[in-house]
Amino acid sequence: MIMTTAEMQRKFSQHPVVKKQADAMAVIRQVAFELAVHINNAAPDGDEKEQAIRRLQEAVFWANAGIARGK
């Protein structure tokens, strides 16, 4: 898939957020943190726990990027 220049600029530019967006991002981070703590306490140490927490970090990143880049 070839992206347009505008699409590339959107992906590689800074996206300032307004307070409403920042508040939504903070809620996502807090809820994800609470889930990460639960995973850390409930799952035995190992690759699966590490991957679960890593994927949760990725989910937070992409959710917050979606909020920041939102139209």
> Which residue type occupies 41?
N
Distance separating alpha carbons of residues 6 and 20, to the nearest angstrom:
25
Q: What is the pTM of this model?
A: 0.86
Predicted confidence (pLDDT) per residue in 3-22, tens digit: 999 999 988 999 999 999 99
Q: Strand locations in the chain, DSSP E?
A: none
**Coil, strand, or helix at residue 3?**
coil
Predicted confidence (pLDDT) per residue in 20-62, tens digit: 999 999 999 999 999 999 999 999 999 999 999 999 999 999 9
